[in-house]
Structures are given as C-alpha cells and as structure tokens.
C-alpha cells in the first residue's frame, strides 16, 4: 500500500465522511508508484512545482461547501484547496495546492486544442479514459489502485503509451504530442512504438497550439533530467522542425574539416553540448542547445582546401536567438539571458589576455550570467569530443575571480575625466586627474556615494 502524506489523507477523509468518492490521480500517483520509498511530492525539493491532482464524484459546489477556503474559477471545474504542509519547515513551501476536478469526459474536439464541451462523468473509469497516457491514468483511493489501461505495467517497462487510439488522442489535443516528449525527458522513459509512430504522423498538428503552451512544455523538456533525449525525440518525430527549425537544419551541416577537432555535424554537436551542460537552468540549457545555430547560415567550404568555416556565426546566431525568444514568448529576463549567452559564446581563453580584456568580457556577459556562460562552454567542449576543461580554461576561471576581487579603482568611479572637463569647462591636464583622485578618496572612505549626481555635486567644492 502506498503511504500518503497526512494532509492528503485529511483531505480525502473529509470527502469520504460526506460519502463522496475521491481519488489521487495523475503525476502524484505516477511518482509514488515509481518510487514508493520517498513520496517525491512531499520532499522539499519538488513540492513547490508539483501539484496534487484529485478526481471525485462531488460537484464543485459540494466541494466548496466542505472547504470554504477553496477557490473555483475555471471552465474545467477544477477546485483548488490550499492546505498547510505540516512537515515543511521552510517558510516558502508551507502549503500544498490540491486540485480537485470532478469526474469528467471530454468530447467533440473540433480544433485539436480544446474540447467544445465538457461533460461530467459518472465513474472514475470514465474519467481515466480521457487522460493522455497510461502512466497518467491511474487512480488511488487510499486503499485500491484503479488501473484500467495497464499504467503500472508501462511504468515498470518505462514506456509512455497513449490511452486508446493514439491518432484519435493526438487529434483531440495536439499538446499531448509535446507532453509525451516532456515525460521522456523528465522520467527517462521511451515512447511506445505505436504512440511514437502516431506522434511522427501527426506532428504537424502542433501548429494549432499556442506558443505560450508550447513554451511551457518545451522548457519542461529542457528542465528534465534527460533533456538531450527529449530533443532527439523532437528531432526524430519531426516536432523540432515546427518548434525550432533553426536547430533542425543544423543536423545537415557538417563540420569535419582538415585540422579541426570537430567530430559531429552541427545538430549532433548541439544536442551533445546540451547533454553535458552542467547547469540545470532551462534557459542556460536552451542557450547551449542553440549556441551554434548561426553555423547553418554561415557555412563555407573552400573548394581547394576542403576547409570549412563559419565566420561570424555568433553574430548571425544572436539575431536568430532574438527571433526564437520572440516566437516562444519568453519573458524579458529569459530573453536577455538567452541572447547574451548565444552572442558571447565564442569568447577566447588565452594566457595572453590582459586584465582589461577579461574585465570587458565580464562586462558583456554580466556577473549574473558568468557561471552560465562557463557552463555553456563546458557543454560545448565535451559536446565537441574535447575534455571538460584545459589548463588554459582553468587559468581563465582563476583570473575571472581575481579580476573581480581587485580593489576599487579610479576608473570604477561613475564619472570620468570628460564629465569633469565638461562641468568645469576646462581642458585636459593634471587638474582633471587630481579632481578624480580626490573624489576617489572620498568614495573609498565612504564620505560620498559612487553615484553620478553625488559625484558631480562634489566637483565644484573639491575644485
Ligand atoms: P506534473 O504535475 O508532474 O507536471 P502531471 O502528469 O500531474 O505531471 P498535469 O499537467 O499536472 O501533469 O496533469 C494532471 C493529469 O491530468 C495528468 O496526469 C493527466 O492524467 C491529465 N492531463 C493533463 N493534461 C492532459 C491533456 N492535455 N490530455 C489528457 N490528459 C491530460
Ligand atoms: Mg500534476
């Protein structure tokens, strides 16, 4: 028997006391059956992002009567009950979100997007029949497991298999095409043959889905434990050509060339880089996956020498990254990060670099994304068949730290000699330097702030 958290039992008991049927369904049952020793959905690591789904024969109104704190505000009839998590001592994770949806069926899909009408169902079996994959169509009432579609068998075989006829199910709702791939990345499962063939056959239906919903699933694919497998499924089923054609075409771009270290075509290199990128951040992984897309447009092969080059591919790639970020409706913050990482990925690592050059590099990448930039490079290196690092690379990282530790200098002031000359209407000369020096001393001693206006205000008094 699966042990449920106290809060879940409490919620289910309230239904049972009122003579209603109530079942845990979806991801929570799936995760508990996969790993009964730890209930993933109560561990502090995951509970923030993972919800508990229930299904019941109670109506939304009846649920609201039992839980006055609950809210009910969507067309699917889902009632959300917030309940305090007693086991959690972390302030930010103190509640479970329980989502309770009355038994329902879905019928009359006309646009591969949403059902034209939703009808309530009478039994849990009927409710399970509308769910996407067998591993998601298992219900648990605290004692018995209801598994009409062989979900437990597929869990042990590690397979994602559509409930019913896959062609019909994907035509009903094309988001399921991406959900299947998302579960390959999150769970490390394969897709059952007929389901996979059907995804390939119906891949074009994805164009009916909004980019916001595609983005959400795609970022979950990137954020899973097996993102490169997920991307290969996208590639092999044809979905990638709709979502990221810029990456799709890279699989046809060779880069083996005399005296070059590359062992893979550009597309395979990108997937391998993603596989080995040590960051778990979906946007850093995204940037790693697309860092070389500019190579498809800049490919040049010299007929005489057979040498292949991709001049300025990072400049072209930056423009493409901007388009991709727009298309996938990333937030401004996500956009900025994705584009910066792609634009800067060609940075050189050399023992001859000056501190100034290293400082310039930090300024263009920004301190905030510095570790992400290094993680992209690690993926890039391993994904090219190189060792994870080199002595040059290690030296560079050390220098990055040292440069950042260097004490505050005159040139770090928020104003410069030009500001001084302009304000005092004077020409270049020792007076300018001496004023800057005095300002610097004042800022170092904490007497004034290093803010442009504060500094300008001081200039006349110092002079
Ligand atoms: P997780 O919560 O870990 O992301 P999940 O399987 O619970 O995974 P949800 O999106 O929370 O996924 O959906 C809950 C359940 O609702 C699913 O397990 C599935 O049974 C059903 N479901 C969700 N989306 C669909 C869909 N597009 N078509 C059919 N069933 C769906
Ligand atoms: Mg869920």
Closest C-alpha residue for ligand 1 atom 14: 26
In the chain, residues under CATH classification 1.10.246 are 410-462
- Ligand 1: centre distance to CA 373 (Å): 34
Above pLDDT 70, what percent of the chain?
Answer: 92
The phi and psi torsions of 87 (rounded to 5 degrees) equal -80, -20
Ligand 1, CB within 6 Å, residue ranges = 26-27, 50-51, 53, 131-132, 136-137, 173, 175-176, 179
Nearest atom, ligand 1, residue 137 CA: 20
Q: Given pLDDT bands bounded at 50, 70 and 90, which one contains residue 404?
A: confident
Above pLDDT 90, what percent of the chain?
Answer: 70
CA within 13 Å, CB half, 217: 23
Q: Given pLDDT bands bounded at 50, 70 and 90, which one contains residue 183?
A: very high
Look at residue 87 and tell me whether its pLDDT is greater than 70: no
Nearest atom, ligand 1, residue 26 CA: 18
Looking at residue 49, its pLDDT comes to 44
Q: Are 230 and 224 in contact (CB under 8 A)?
A: yes
* Mutate-to-test residue for ligand 1 from 23, 25, 27, 161, highest number of ligand atoms within 8 A of CB: 27
Nearest atom, ligand 1, residue 53 CA: 14
Fold of the domain spanning 6-157: Beta Polymerase; domain 2 (3.30.460)
Q: Are 103 and 62 in contact (CB under 8 A)?
A: no
pLDDT digits (tens, 9 = 90+) for 238-250: 999 999 999 999 9
Nearest atom, ligand 1, residue 182 CA: 4
The phi and psi torsions of 349 (rounded to 5 degrees) equal -120, 110
Least confident of 37-46, 68-77, 378-387, 408-417: 37-46
Look at residue 339 and tell me whether its pLDDT is greater than 90: yes
pLDDT digits (tens, 9 = 90+) for 347-388: 999 999 998 899 899 989 999 999 999 999 999 999 998 999
- Tokens 């702030």 belong to residue: 449
Looking at residue 93, its pLDDT comes to 53
- Ligand 2: centre distance to CA 54 (Å): 9
- Ligand 1: centre distance to CA 271 (Å): 27
Closest C-alpha residue for ligand 1 atom 15: 26
Closest C-alpha residue for ligand 1 atom 13: 26
- Ligand 2: centre distance to CA 174 (Å): 18
Query: What distance in Å separates the CA atoms of residue 247 and residue 267, rounded to the nearest whole number?
Result: 6
- Ligand 1: centre distance to CA 135 (Å): 10
- Ligand 1: centre distance to CA 377 (Å): 35
Nearest atom, ligand 1, residue 51 CA: 2
The length of the chain is 463
- Ligand 2: centre distance to CA 370 (Å): 34
Looking at residue 37, its pLDDT comes to 66
In the chain, residues under CATH classification 3.30.460.10 are 6-157
Looking at residue 38, its pLDDT comes to 56
Q: In terms of Cα–Cα distance, which of 310, 267, 309 is closest to 289?
A: 267
Looking at residue 272, its pLDDT comes to 97
Q: In terms of Cα–Cα distance, which of 105, 153, 154 is closest to 128?
A: 105
Q: Are 424 and 463 in contact (CB under 8 A)?
A: yes
* Mutate-to-test residue for ligand 1 from 35, 51, 53, highest number of ligand atoms within 8 A of CB: 53
* Mutate-to-test residue for ligand 1 from 26, 165, 170, highest number of ligand atoms within 8 A of CB: 26
Looking at residue 86, its pLDDT comes to 58
**CATH classification number, 410-462, choose in 1.10.246, 3.40.50, 3.30.1490, 1.20.950:** 1.10.246
Least confident of 179-193, 216-230, 328-342, 391-405: 391-405
Closest C-alpha residue for ligand 1 atom 7: 27
């Amino acid at each position: 028997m699966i042990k449920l958290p106290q809060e879940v039992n409490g919620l289910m008991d309230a239904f049972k006391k009122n003579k209603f049927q109530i079942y845990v369904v979806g991801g929570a049952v799936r995760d508990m059956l996969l790993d009964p020793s730890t209930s993933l959905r109560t561990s502090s690591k995951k509970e923030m992002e993972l919800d508990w789904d229930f299904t019941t024969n109670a109506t939304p109104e009846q649920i609201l009567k039992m839980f006055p704190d609950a809210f009910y505000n969507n067309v699917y009839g889902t009632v959300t009950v917030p309940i305090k998590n007693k086991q959690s001592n972390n302030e930010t994770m103190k509640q479970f979100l329980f989502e309770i949806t009355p038994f329902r069926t879905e019928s009359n899909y006309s646009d591969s997007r949403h059902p034209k009408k939703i009808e309530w169902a009478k039994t849990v079996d009927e409710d399970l029949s509308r769910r996407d994959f067998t591993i998601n169509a298992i219900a648990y009432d605290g004692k018995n497991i209801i598994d009409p579609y062989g979900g437990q068998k597929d869990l042990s075989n590690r397979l994602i298999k559509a409930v019913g006829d896959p062609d019909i199910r994907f035509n009903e709702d094309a988001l399921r095409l991406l959900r299947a791939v998302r579960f390959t990345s999150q769970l490390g499962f394969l897709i059952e043959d007929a389901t996979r063939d059907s995804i390939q056959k119906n891949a074009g239906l994805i164009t009916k889905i909004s980019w916001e919903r595609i983005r959400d699933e795609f970022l979950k694919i990137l954020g899973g434990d097996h993102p490169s497998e997920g991307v290969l499924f996208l590639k092999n089923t044809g979905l990638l050509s709709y979502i990221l054609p810029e990456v799709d075409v890279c699989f046809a771009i060779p880069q083996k060339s005399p005296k070059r270290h590359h062992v893979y075509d550009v597309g395979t290199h990108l997937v391998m880089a993603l596989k080995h990128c040590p960051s778990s951040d979906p946007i850093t992984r995204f940037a790693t996956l697309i860092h070389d897309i500019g190579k498809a447009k800049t490919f040049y092969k010299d007929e005489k020498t057979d040498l292949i080059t991709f001049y300025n591919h990072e400049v072209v790639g930056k423009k493409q990254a901007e388009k991709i970020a727009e298309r996938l409706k990333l937030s401004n913050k996500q956009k900025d990060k994705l584009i910066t990482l792609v634009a800067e990925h060609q940075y050189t690592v050399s023992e001859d670099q000056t501190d100034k050059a290293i400082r310039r590099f930090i300024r263009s990448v920004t301190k905030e994304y510095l570790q992400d930039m290094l993680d992209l490079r690690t993926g890039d290196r391993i994904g090219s068949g190189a060792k994870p690092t080199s002595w040059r690379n290690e030296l560079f990282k050390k220098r990055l730290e040292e440069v950042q530790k260097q004490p505050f200098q005159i040139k770090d002031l928020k104003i410069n000699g030009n500001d001084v000359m302009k304000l005092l209407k004077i020409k270049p000369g020792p007076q300018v330097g001496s004023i800057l020096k005095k300002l610097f001393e004042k800022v170092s001693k904490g007497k004034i702030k290093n803010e442009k206006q504060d500094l300008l205000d001081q200039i006349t008094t110092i002079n």
